[in-house]
Amino acid sequence: MRITLLMVPLFGLALSAQGPVQPDWAKVDEETMRHFQAVLRMDSTDPPGREKEVADYLQQVLEKEGIPVQVFAKEAHRPNVVARLKGNGAKRPLLLMAHTDTVNVDPAKWTHPPFGAVRDGGYVYGRGTVDDKDNVAATLMVMLMLKRLNVPLERDVIALFEAGEEGSTSIGIQFMANEHFDAIDAEFCYAEGGSVTRVGGAVKYASVQTVEKIPRAITVTARGVAGHGSVPLESNALAHLGEAVGKIATWTPPMRLNETTAAYFKRLATVSTPEEAERYRALLSPDPKISGPADDHMRKHEPRHWSMLRTSLSPTIIGGGYRTNVIPSEGTATIDTRLAPDESADEFLELVRKVVSDPQVEVTYGARDTRPPTAPMKLDSDAFKAIEANITKHYQTVTLPTMSTGATDMAFLRRKGIQCYGIGPATDSEDGPKGFGAHSDQERILESELFRFVRFNWDAVVELARAR
């Protein structure tokens, strides 16, 4: 044992052309599963958020290994855990981020208990298996292995296990970014938000999240004269509201491509059927006669792709009126609005007002927890290159830089200048419709894919952070 410990750093240096000495993967798999099951068995559903048990566990595992840990808690029972491995300071740090909370469960919907971490048929079942305790386990294992193998680093590697991602960012990422940024400041960050998609058991492509849309809410308020329901009025507020909502929902906001989405469709075409590929390439054409029909096809058949091409609008709440025989004087609707990252919020609102074009209807932004807008991450950065090279190595597939239509905690870090990339393990595309997936009735991960994700993480971190 003593010889091994002494030899490892030497091997690490001696074999630097191929990378440092590799971990004993059979043992790593076993330990990964042990930590993964341990944190899955802790109920950290948010709300109310009970991340402390997970945080305490991670702190204890890391400290036992001699890795220094700092704990930052805005609310005592919801701590954020930061661990740091020091590099030689030649380059700025790499941050690995994973959240310790999960969404809630309806236990009646679960075949296996949601906090049982049951292994069955090659899967592990439990809330958090793909969101985000997979990243928690992978980050933990990378930190432990870097320390044990004493890998020489040219930049610090920081792990942030954050609370409150699922709806309480004020005690999680916002608290860390606003009040303890020194503890997590880095050049690059890897976090959740990407994925590897399998179809029929074979890997089809990998998504790496490099930018996201900005959530806003538009409030549509229609006003008219109140009156008796037996006497129809042209100014009926609900009729005007309905018409306005209809116009908004059927309008096609202008198409906007950015570096990420252009690369996404271009690369997606390389792993698609000839017909699909032709449409994806057509979307990139500056000629609306070519891009238009492809865009229409997306609207009908690939709504997520249609949303990736523009700022999107979905009516989600509508209300007004209280009695059958009373015409109300007011009705309101809420439109879930996802701004493209380079969209001007004010100019876009003007466009929506023109679409509605009704003096009885007011269109404004309503209150919503939002995220700061950021430009797409660089696709030629060392971090993106390390991720892409190791997707090729571990998954033998194409890497699609991806814009999320939803929002993630990475937005707060990108705003502070950290280049963040969202990654994730492979899941079967057939699993979602069966009711397994992030935020689904049930959740599961393939054991083999959890292990592959740890290997991928290890190589992507070592490649970016080790001293050469």
Spatial distance between the Cα atoms of 239 and 223, rounded to a whole number of angstroms: 10
Largest Cα separation within the chain, whole Å, is 94
Q: Which two tokens stand for residue 39?
A: 């944190």
Least Cα distance to 171 among 409, 348, 339 occurs for 409
Binding mask 189-208 for Zn ion (x = CB under 5 A): ---x----------------
Nearer to Zn ion, 195 or 291 (CB): 195
Stretch that binds Zn ion, among 123-131, 210-218, 301-309, 398-406 (CB under 5 A): 123-131
Q: Which of 132, 212, 428, 459 binds Zn ion (CB under 5 A)?
A: 132
Stretch that binds Zn ion, among 129-137, 289-297, 337-345, 425-433 (CB under 5 A): 129-137
Stretch that binds Zn ion, among 35-43, 62-70, 112-120, 128-136 (CB under 5 A): 128-136
Nearer to Zn ion, 31 or 51 (CB): 51
Stretch that binds Zn ion, among 131-139, 152-160, 350-358, 440-448 (CB under 5 A): 131-139
**Cβ neighbours of residue 178 under 8 Å, at least 6 residues apart?**
none
Nearer to Zn ion, 221 or 427 (CB): 427
Write down the least CB distance from residue 162 to Zn ion, Å: 10
Write down the least CB distance from residue 465 to Zn ion, Å: 24
Nearer to Zn ion, 131 or 212 (CB): 131
Stretch that binds Zn ion, among 124-132, 311-319, 389-397, 451-459 (CB under 5 A): 124-132
Write down the least CB distance from residue 88 to Zn ion, Å: 33
Nearer to Zn ion, 51 or 192 (CB): 192
Over the range 330-357, which residues count as b (16 or more CB within 10 Å of their CB) and which as e? ebbbbbebbbbbebeeeebbebbeebbe
Nearer to Zn ion, 132 or 212 (CB): 132
Q: Helix or strand or coil: residue 402?
A: strand
Write down the least CB distance from residue 456 to Zn ion, Å: 18
Q: How many residues touch Zn ion (CB under 5 A)?
A: 3
Write down the least CB distance from residue 241 to Zn ion, Å: 35
Binding mask 153-192 for Zn ion (x = CB under 5 A): ---------------------------------------x
DSSP string, 329-363: SEEEEEEEEEE-TT--HHHHHHHHHHHH--TTEEE
Least Cα distance to 361 among 458, 244, 278 occurs for 244
Write down the least CB distance from residue 132 to Zn ion, Å: 4
Q: In the range 307-366, which residues lie near Zn ion by CB under 5 A?
A: none
DSSP summary character for residue 23: P
**317, 304 Cβ separation under 8 angstroms:** no
Write down the least CB distance from residue 193 to Zn ion, Å: 8
Nearer to Zn ion, 103 or 226 (CB): 103
Q: Helix or strand or coil: residue 444?
A: strand
Write down the least CB distance from residue 4 to Zn ion, Å: 37
Nearer to Zn ion, 84 or 133 (CB): 133
| Spatial strand order in the sheet of 444-446 | 118-120, 123-125, 444-446
Nearer to Zn ion, 156 or 166 (CB): 166
Q: Using only C-alpha atoms, what is the Rg of the chain?
A: 25
Q: Which of 131, 156, 409, 459 binds Zn ion (CB under 5 A)?
A: 131
- 326 vs 229, 238, 329, CA distance in Å? 5, 11, 9
Angle ∠(377,378,383) on CA atoms, nearest 5: 95
Sign, CA dihedral 226-232-234-237, equals: positive
Spatial distance between the Cα atoms of 160 and 443, rounded to a whole number of angstroms: 24
Nearer to Zn ion, 280 or 412 (CB): 412
Angle ∠(199,313,428) on CA atoms, nearest 5: 10
Write down the least CB distance from residue 125 to Zn ion, Å: 18
153 CB neighbour count, 10 Å cutoff = 23
Write down the least CB distance from residue 191 to Zn ion, Å: 9
Element (H, E) at 236: none
Nearer to Zn ion, 132 or 187 (CB): 132
Provide the residue type at 247 as one letter.
K
Write down the least CB distance from residue 148 to Zn ion, Å: 28
Binding mask 377-416 for Zn ion (x = CB under 5 A): ----------------------------------------
Write down the least CB distance from residue 134 to Zn ion, Å: 10
**Cβ neighbours of residue 450 under 8 Å, at least 6 residues apart?**
32, 33, 36, 124, 134, 137, 138, 425
Nearer to Zn ion, 99 or 223 (CB): 99
Where does this chain bind Zn ion (CB under 5 A)?
A: 131-132, 192
